[in-house]
Structure 1
Amino acid sequence: MKMKKYTAETMVEVMKKVRADFGDDAIILSSTVVKTKGFLGFFKKKSVEVVAGFDEPAPKMEEPVFPISSPRIENVDRTSGELKEEMNELKKMLKDMQQLARQSRFPDELKPLLAHLDKQGLSTSSITQIGEEIYNRMKAEKKDFTQQEQLLITKELLKKEMEDLPFGGISFNKKYINVLGPTGVGKTTTIAKIAARALLENKKKIGFITTDTYRIAAIEQLRTYANLLQAPVEVAYNSQDFKNAIDKLADRDVIFIDTAGRNYKEVKFVEDLSKLIDFSLDMESYLVLSLTSKEQDMKVIVEQFNQFAVEKFIFTKMDETSSIGPMFNLMKDHNIGTAYYTDGQEVPEDITEADSSKLISLLLKGAYDA
């Protein structure tokens, strides 16, 4: 990584220098306000000092060819976290094998439905519960159920499983809407879609704060959306900046906070977030997850954010996947409902308020042409 230190009177001037050298893919490594002494030690001046970097693409190297007689030695070291994850995976595999053994006694009439649920990524335990309930009812009534009867029972069971979870969009009763999530899930675009609705449908005066200061492109993307919505944007590089932004946007009805996209499987990034944002404010927090991510990765991220009061999930990129079962698994395992799901990049069109009946219909779409 190339690194360089910049100093200027304002952050805006610093960022111009960074962009000139490294472009929009620059990464801000640190930022501090420094005071320099003036004439005879008096008349101190404030300036901003920033260390920025740029990841150069690694040179392409040819993979060495090893003789057949010389086996390659691999590093088999494991961190405690990796070992724990592997143990959890093993336990899950054993549990799934037990569930599959229970499923083997179900009649052939049930197998297409269960295969569809499996393809959708619904958990093995949920599939087994659905299969057993339908099978037990078939035995009790001493008849085979039609495809439609099987679907009705499945919808009934899934609906009951989620009846205590909150669904639906943001009410805008809270002044601060904090949007959390890892890198690459589409947080900024999702914020723009929700903010546009707050402005156009709910007639709210909106504003934005971004703490995503690691990539210049992220700030510029939010500025573009904010300009279209004629709303102010404040950039917070540290906790003091965040407090100042709150003061500057005091006249706004709703303030959307766009947090940094980081690898939140690492605890330190979650801790950094808790130091930067004042979570004691009149605030609701929403966790954005991409349905194109691995379920295990999403699960780890949800667990990392347990220290914050996550109101609901927002799932993105539904149009880029053919399996939405992980949505149901995460909601069930963590007892958290869903506010929205998105299925495209258009602002503000490609976002839908979540509803349990809608989601169940989407899950069963294609099973017996449901």
Structure 2
Amino acid sequence: MKVKKFQAPTMPEAMKKVKKELGPNAVILNQKVVKVGGFLGMFKKDQTEVIAAIDPVDRKANVKKDTQSKPTPLPTREEKGTTEIMKEIQSLKAMVRSQDSVTTFPEGLQHVYEHLLSQEVDEELAKAWVQYVVEQGLDDSPVEDQLTRHIYQQVKDMPFGNAEDHKPFIHLVGPTGVGKTTTVAKLAADASLNKQQKVALITTDTYRIAAIEQLKTYAKILDIPIEVAYSMEDYAEARQKFADYDLVLVDTAGRNFRDANYVKELDELIEFSENTETYLVLSLTSKYQDMDDIYRQFQHLPIRQFIFTKLDETSSYGGALNMVMHHELGIAYFTNGQDVPDDIIEATPMRLSRQVVEGAVYE
């Protein structure tokens, strides 16, 4: 058995290399995103790394047999060393085939299925969506378009984008490091500069002095008021002070989401009343399982929508789609950089569908 490692900027390009060198019967043993290149540890770029193997039996099937009989060579040390791996691969292949025939699709659509998995789309969702395309039959439109339209139909009725009927007090909650403070500044700038709304800020993130100073700097630039709430009393006073404002954005502390005391303290500090709304801020660079765990810590709060940050730092959007599908919540915004107020994009069902499917089909 021949085992080889391939690297390419995207999964489709890596699969092209695998197919070209090992043939269509190659088996993918592992795939992951790695950082390569750069200078002095910086400016590294993401590369998709694929480890693939080809069974000698499968490889022989792709070449013409030599009519002249030749003596069978003795196995080399390398071939002996890979015997157990080959047996395990054959066992896994047989197990997959016996468990679910849907995991193997017609030629071409199998690549689409593998692309969805590389995007970290939930396996059951990926199977169902590709099977839908199979059952519908390939019409004159490209497979990518068919799949995009189908996913769009699944999510189009969920709340996406900036709702015009939002409440005046908006809380951004989520774990540390996802970019809540910068997102608050972007939303405040958009409302103040582009929509000419009367905007104010409240921060309850008193654990990080830098976060307070950062938000105060943004408030000064935008010429809008800000209050720091160290207690429930401070928070109540700030709400009363800004009662007649069009929009009041509340930046909450970001701490370890697995700490139950964090969410408890959040409940004790902030009043989630009828004229407030809550957005859960998550990073697209997080694993889906971590996103799901975060949501479950906050699910007792009246979460209206998700905001996904760091769009510019990943090419994987399956986790966001999984969250929308499994929790039936839409997405308000994506953020794609640190620039205020520019690096924020209003989310739409079609944008999400296209981002997940893009690159699924290749020659």
Same fold (TM over 0.5): yes
Instruction: Kindly state the Cα deviation for residue 365 of structure 1 after the two structures are TM-superposed.
Output: 1.9
1:103 CA drift (Å)? 3.0
Q: Could you list the per-position Cα deviations for residues 82-139 of structure 1 after superposition, in whole angstroms to 9, with x for gaps in the alignment?
A: xxxxxxxxxxxxxx9799833344212211211211111111011100121122233x
Measured after TM superposition, the shift of residue 243 of structure 1 is 1.0
Distance 1:256 1:185 in 2: 17
Give me the whole-angstrom Cα distance separating, in 1, the residues matched to 2:98 and 2:224: 53
CA separation of 1:99 and 1:339: change in aligned 2, threshold 3 A: farther
| Inter-partner Cα distance in structure 2 for 1:247 and 1:338 | 29
1:181·1:287 contact (CA, 8 Å) conserved in 2?
A: yes
Deviation larger for 348-357 or 260-269: 260-269
* Separation (CA, whole Å) in 2 of partners of 1:324 and 1:131: 17
The answer for the alignment partner of 1:339 in structure 2 is 332
List per-residue Cα deviations over 1:304-348 (Å, max 9, x = no partner). Answer: 111111110000001101111100000111110000001111111
CA distance change for structure 1 residues 135 and 209 in 2, over 3 Å: closer, same or farther?
same
Which residue does the alignment assign to 1:195? 188
Q: Distance in 2 between matches of 1:268 and 1:282?
A: 25
Q: Which residue of 1 aligns with 2:204?
A: 211
Aligned to 2:130: 131
Evaluate the alpha carbon distance shift between residue 160 and residue 173 of structure 1 in structure 2; reply closer, same or farther with a 3 A threshold: closer
Counterpart amino acid of 1:128? Answer: K
| Equivalence for 1:258 | 251
Residue equivalent to 1:328: 321
Q: Distance in 1 between matches of 2:313 and 2:96?
A: 29
Q: Structure 1 362/105 Cα, relative in aligned 2: closer, same or farther at 3 Å?
A: closer
d(CA) in 1 for partners of 2:318, 2:340:
26
Compute the displacement of 1:153 (Å): 2.3
Q: 1:229 to 1:100 in 2, by over 3 A?
A: farther
**1:253–1:100: structure 2 CA closer, same or farther, 3 Å change rule?**
farther
1:349, CA displacement in angstroms?
A: 0.5
5+ residue gaps, structure 2, are 1-94
Q: Deviations over 1:187-235 (max 9, x none)?
A: 0101111111111122111111100000111100110111111111111
Tell me the SS of whatever aligns to 1:312: strand
Distance 1:234 1:369, change over 3 A: farther
For residue 247 of structure 1, report the CA deviation from its aligned partner.
Answer: 2.2
* Count of matched residue pairs: 269
Contact 2:166 2:277 in 1 (8 A): no
Equivalent residue, structure 1, for 2:101: 102
SS in 2 for 1:307: coil
Inter-partner Cα distance in structure 1 for 2:142 and 2:239: 55
The reply to whether residue 319 of structure 1 matches residue 312 of structure 2 is yes
Once residues 183 and 99 of structure 2 are traced to their aligned partners in structure 1, the CA distance between those partners, rounded to angstroms, is 38
| Structure 2 CA distance for aligned equivalents of residues 100 and 344 of structure 1 | 43
Q: 1:115 corresponds to which residue?
A: 114
1:17-36 correspondence runs (5 A): none
Further displaced range: 290-299 or 180-189: 290-299
The one-letter code matched in structure 2 to 1:137 is Q
One-letter amino acid matched to 1:359:
L
Deviation at 1:364, TM superposition (A): 1.8
CA contact (8 A) 2:337 2:343 kept: yes
Task: Please state whether the residue corresponding to 1:293 is helix, strand or coil.
Answer: coil
Deviation digits for residues 158-194 of structure 1, max 9, x if unmatched?
Answer: 0121122110114364210111111000001011111
Distance (whole Å) between structure 2 residues aligned to residue 308 and residue 99 of structure 1: 43
Unmatched tracts of structure 1, length 5 or more: 1-95, 139-143
Aligned residue number for residue 6 of structure 2: none
Could you tell which deviates more after superposition, 100-109 or 330-339?
Answer: 100-109
Counterpart of 1:230? Answer: 223
Please show how residues 1-370 of structure 1 align to structure 2 within 5 Å.
101-138=100-137, 148-171=141-164, 173-368=166-361
Distance 1:172 1:350, change over 3 A: farther
The aligned amino acid for 1:305 is: F
SS at match of 2:324: helix
Q: Which amino acid aligns with 2:303?
A: V
Identity %: 42
Partners of 1:145 and 1:293 in 2: how far apart? 36
Residue matched to 1:84: none
Return the alpha-carbon distance in structure 2 between the equivalents of residues 116 and 244 of structure 1: 52
What residue identity is the alignment partner of 2:245? R
C-alpha change, 1:222 and 1:170, in structure 2 (3 Å) is farther
C-alpha distance in 2 between matches for 1:252 and 1:156: 40
Report the CA distance shift for 1:99/1:326 in structure 2 as closer, same or farther (over 3 A): farther
Q: Is the 8 A contact 2:108 2:361 kept in 1?
A: no
1:91 corresponding residue in structure 2 = none
User: What is the Cα-based RMSD across aligned positions, in Å?
Assistant: 2.1
Q: For the Cα contact (< 8 Å) 1:103–1:131, is it kept in 2?
A: no
TM normalised by structure 2 equals: 0.70
In the alignment, the residues of structure 2 paired with residue 153 and residue 323 of structure 1 have an alpha-carbon distance, to the nearest angstrom, of: 20
